[in-house]
A and B are shown apart, each in its own frame.
Chain A
């Protein structure tokens, strides 16, 4: 069951002119969230006790994957962080958030990734801010000794973040940039395709993907081409995060063969890549 926390801003680390990591004090959410789940954050404050919906502009909360689960040295949960990119009104406010501010944070929400066990390998495919759900997934995989690889694409080398974090978890990194300034020049789909082609059919692998929808569609198609399972974390414009508004729907192929809109907040955000009707 999700809870709503008036979360203190612990820290806000800029990573670039657009990207940042915002740490929020929300121990109860941290303790109960699973990799792939998300929170809904009100970028302009907390909700007042008289039932006020807080500041009305921007009005709605915005969804964010839980990026890190923050713990004290003794293991006690402190809170969570989000990896955010400045795009709209709410993300601009979050980029400028400072310690001392409090933000309403609702979560954990949504269906998490389904885990995978050795001998299967885990291949994570991230595009840009789609790196977000993979920090906690990589920790979980590492804790269970699952061999993992991160295919990580960004516009430039300056926008490839947290590489050491993943290296310390023994995650193999396959990096691509659109401008060729780091890693392989191009999109992350190309090395994924080559690796899948080279992988022995009897060596199981689970593909996890998060990023722009075009990248997710391409990843799901490649996974299908090689007969590999694939879980994608989708992001659709979301209103409430709890299934109330029916805004965040995505078409999937139903058991009857027809197209059905499912709410990505309840049925997802993690969905089987081969069920989504990508076009």
Chain B
């Protein structure tokens, strides 16, 4: 059974990646997960400098989901390269680094530093964090900004460049196209949905940043739809995410058009989820006589409009 998938020049041993911001720097999970068993680990977002992020409370639970506004607390790219990357390499993890910037130059500089470091396999460009005022989202919410960041980073690295797209736009697919035109090797989507929770007793927001990003199973059907739309629009691979909590959810994203998937919030609930997801994927492949998991990518059958709809 072949679980491997290709993202640009990179072959992943399976389609499962730990999503940025949901897995620390990876090393936090080294005792509970065999990091080399994952398709990849996507680091927490990194700027040039260290950041302290927002004050607590930073999360609140919502129906089948959660809201977060961490504010991209992070140790900065240089400390990451010095302190975290060696252990990730020793653990044989496939490392995607989530790159942030407040300016175009910062994205380029962080990417350049990572390209010179040993053990980085891909760059995910964070142009979609909804929770900080400066940087990121200003690029991700503008077609020309998306194109500019991707093409600027493209020029300074041979690593796969994968912008992570925000769902907080009218037409995600047009941003996927701008990324493709800028030279992206793939796109990942979706980041979280900007949302708000208010305590009606105190009339105060429940997180310090007032608004935050919604994740978890609650957003999955919207994310699946967005992956499907992007699949119709671009040729580069899509890394899909948004509320995946079991193997069926992951396969749903792949059928919609994702070549690989990321799992975030579910890892908070179950840090031991990874082997279960892989077992579930193998079980699905067995049941459907699939030899290669990549064969299901983008195979959603929307032609049979006149057939009877039967739920499985």
Contacts and interface: CB of A to CB of B under 8 A. Distances in A.
Interface of A: 1-2, 4, 42, 47-54, 56-61, 88-89, 104, 106, 236-237, 239-240, 242-251, 259-261, 266
A169 B53 CA distance: 44
Nearest to A55: B64
A47 B65 CA distance: 16
A52 B248 CA distance: 9
A47 B269 contact: yes
A126 B55 CA distance: 25
Nearest to B273: A51
Interface string B97-131: 00000000000000000000000000000000000
Given A47-B269, A51-B273, A244-B24, A239 B73 contact: no
Nearest to A2: B32
Given A49-B279, A51-B247, A247-B57, 17 more contacts: A48-B246, A51-B273, A51-B277, A52-B245, A53-B217, A53-B273, A59-B66, A60-B66, A61-B269, A104-B270, A244-B267, A245-B68, A247-B56, A247-B59, A247-B68, A247-B70, A249-B56
B287 to A, nearest CB: 12
A237 B268 contact: no
A266 B63 CA distance: 27
B24 A237 contact: no
Nearest to A88: B61
B13 interface: no
B61 A242 contact: no
A183 to B, nearest CB: 30
B201 to A, nearest CB: 13
20 contacts: A47-B270, A47-B273, A50-B283, A51-B279, A53-B273, A54-B269, A56-B216, A56-B245, A89-B61, A240-B267, A243-B24, A243-B28, A244-B23, A244-B24, A244-B28, A244-B29, A245-B68, A247-B56, A247-B70, A266-B28
B60 interface: yes
Contact of A239 (B53, B66, B248): B66
A247 B273 CA distance: 20
B271 A237 contact: no
A242 to B, nearest CB: 6
A259 B52 contact: yes
B265 interface: yes
Nearest to B283: A50
B269 A60 contact: yes
Interface of B: 21-24, 28-29, 31-32, 44, 52-53, 55-61, 63-66, 68, 70, 73, 216-218, 245-248, 265-273, 276-277, 279-280, 283
B166 to A, nearest CB: 20
Contacts of A1: 31-32
A61 B21 CA distance: 18
Closest 10 CB pairs of A and B: A51-B276, A240-B268, A243-B28, A56-B64, A53-B245, A51-B277, A52-B246, A53-B269, A50-B280, A247-B59
B180 to A, nearest CB: 31
Contacts of A60: 61, 66, 268-269
Contacts of A246: 21, 24, 44, 53, 58, 70, 73
Contacts of A56: 64-65, 216-218, 245
B271 A242 contact: yes
Nearest to B217: A56
A245 B273 contact: no
A57 B21 CA distance: 22
A237 B59 contact: yes
Given A244-B22, A246-B44, A59 B52 contact: no
Nearest to B266: A53
B57 to A, nearest CB: 5
Q: Which of A52, A54, A237, A250 has the most CB of B within 10 A?
A: A52
Contact of B269 (A42, A247, A259, A261): A42
Nearest to B33: A242
Nearest to A261: B52
A226 to B, nearest CB: 29
Nearest to A1: B31
Q: Which of A2, A53, A243 has the most CB of B within 10 A?
A: A53
Contacts of B277: 51
Contacts of B280: 50-51
Contacts of B247: 50-51
Contacts of A245: 21-22, 59, 68, 70, 268
Given A53-B270, A56-B216, A261-B52, A249 B64 contact: no
